[in-house]
């Protein structure tokens, strides 16, 4: 084999290795993520240009009933599926046991303003209908920020907490609409703030979006998202 052929083979090998590495970044346990979702590739992430939070830890879905009324959804999210579900700060790859089944937390970035839970579920071979998704992220603020509001949308019902306090819920079989539900004004403390949500889907597509609005109801920026406390 001459020098030119050796160089050609080596280049082809490097390209192949690079492609496998890129694929590995967007997969977990051999599952290929869809184009809108990826594995985080940096320690922290800023919100997008419109203030949407694009980094989350998401638990594989839990089977629940199809009813999406206020009372049923509230009962579902208050039921203890796993220990400390309203306070736990999981790590990527952590597992919980729900009704005898092992479910895994996955670190996920979305390239869109919304997180497509339908694609997430199917990427990991899980159902997307009649299920409950838990998701959590950490909002790191350089200073205390008063008079902000959490603005959310979801398909279908969802309930949201900030620093352990329930702040907003929307119910019924609905499509995701930007700022469909808006909390009362609250204060983000300096440092780490925990945002948690539970999304319940009956059937079909399912996703969610979330951002904070400032005191003038404009998208809040100037913070970073992480999945572990700094």
Q: Could you read off the pLDDT of 6-38 as tens digits, one per residue?
A: 444 444 444 333 333 444 444 445 468 999 999
Which whole number is the average pLDDT over 145-174? 98
Instruction: With a cut of 60, say whether residue 4 has pLDDT above it.
Output: no
Q: Please, which pLDDT band fits residue 86 given cuts at 50, 70 and 90?
A: very high
Task: For the chain, state the CA radius of gyration.
Answer: 20
CA distances from 161 to 69, 141, 148, 150, 193 (A): 19, 17, 14, 9, 10
pLDDT attached to residue 226 = 98
Q: Please, which pLDDT band fits residue 67 given cuts at 50, 70 and 90?
A: confident
pLDDT attached to residue 109 = 98
State the distance between the two ends of the chain, measured CA to CA, in whole angstroms.
53
pLDDT attached to residue 2 = 54
Task: Quote the mean pLDDT of the chain.
Answer: 90
Calculated CA dihedral for residues 64, 69, 71, 76, nearest 10 degrees = 20
Encode pLDDT of 102-126 as tens digits: 999 999 999 999 999 999 999 999 9
199: Cβ–Cβ under 8 A, 6 or more apart, which residues?
A: 117, 132, 133, 135, 154, 156, 157, 158, 206, 208
Which whole number is the average pLDDT over 54-64? 98
Which whole number is the average pLDDT over 165-182? 98
Which whole number is the average pLDDT over 174-183? 98
Instruction: With a cut of 60, say whether residue 135 has pLDDT above it.
Output: yes
């Amino acid at each position: 084999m001459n020098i030119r052929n050796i160089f050609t083979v080596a280049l082809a090998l490097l390209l192949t290795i690079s492609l496998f590495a890129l694929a590995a970044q967007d997969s977990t346990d051999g599952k290929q993520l869809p184009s809108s979702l990826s594995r985080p590739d940096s320690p922290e992430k800023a919100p997008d240009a419109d203030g949407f939070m694009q980094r989350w830890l998401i638990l594989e879905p839990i089977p629940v009933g199809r009813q999406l009324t206020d009372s049923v959804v509230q009962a579902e999210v208050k039921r203890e599926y796993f220990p400390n579900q309203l306070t736990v700060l999981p790590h990527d790859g952590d597992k919980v046991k729900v009704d005898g089944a092992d479910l895994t937390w996955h670190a996920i970035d979305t390239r869109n303003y919304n997180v497509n839970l339908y694609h997430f579920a199917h990427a990991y071979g899980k159902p997307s209908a009649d299920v409950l998704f838990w998701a959590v992220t950490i909002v790191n603020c350089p200073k205390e920020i008063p008079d902000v509001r959490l603005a959310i949308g979801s398909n279908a019902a969802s309930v949201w907490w900030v620093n352990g306090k329930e702040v907003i819920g929307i119910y019924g079989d609905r499509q995701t609409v930007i700022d469909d539900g808006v909390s009362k004004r609250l204060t983000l403390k300096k440092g780490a703030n925990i945002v948690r949500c539970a999304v319940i889907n009956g059937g079909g597509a399912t996703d969610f979006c979330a951002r904070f609005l400032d005191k003038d109801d404009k998208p809040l920026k100037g913070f970073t998202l992480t999945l572990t406390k700094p």
